Amino acid sequence: MALKSPFTFLVLLATLWLSVPVFAAQGIPVLCYHRCGAEVKDSMTIHTKDFAAQLDWLIKNGYTVIGLDTAARYIKGEIKSIPSKSIVITADDGHKSVYSDMAPIIKKYKVPVTLFIYPSAISNAKYAMTWDQLRELEATKLFHVESHTYWHPNFKREKKTLSKEEYEKSVHAQLYKSKATLEKKMGHGIKYLAWPFGIYDKDLLVKAKEAGYDMAFSIDNHHMKAGIDNMAQPRYMIIDGYNLKRLESISSGKEDK
């Protein structure tokens, strides 16, 4: 079809541009937990009753806990919409209290949780879950395992103390060996990575993408959103002492500055 004038052509372009849907307009708070317990021995442990109270508060205040994969697909524009008050729950490291203390609460509220696991600890360390326990959690369809590297290194320290060749070999092993081990043990693909200690740099972001991860997560205390490098999407680390007022501040976006 011939266009009669440049003005007609510009109008057509504007019409087409306006018809393209805009995805991922809203940011999503991603909460990062570690341990639960009846006794709080460190800041990374949330008292079991406090975790239950936090989850109860979220549900009663209209938040919808969505799966990490749903959130990631929304941010990438593969899903057009999510509930207006969506939130994601993750738990790092694979501590056995996730199985003993957190899981009963998650099952009560029937919300999805992503577990970022470093395989070297599973069925080895006294503090960690077993592979059978992880598989049991996944069988509930509420929990899903993803990668937290192979043995939770401090990349910043390793980069200073190792030779360049040793460091590159270590990074390769942490990214690839974790992914391969988890895929073999859990029987499904591994798409997501949580950076140990929240440490990353530009080179690590590139290497994570090369290793086949679709998205990786830090603890930079912002909402997950479009426009951020998908290999460094932020989360909020939840520690002991965070009351419901602080949770409201995080979830509502007041701390997303």
* 38-71 residue pLDDT tens: 989 889 999 999 999 999 999 999 999 999 999 9
Could you give the domains of the chain?
A: 25-251 (3.20.20.370)
The structure's pTM equals 0.89
d(CA 70, CA 126): 33
- Find the range with the poorest average confidence among 13-17, 70-74, 159-163, 247-251: 13-17
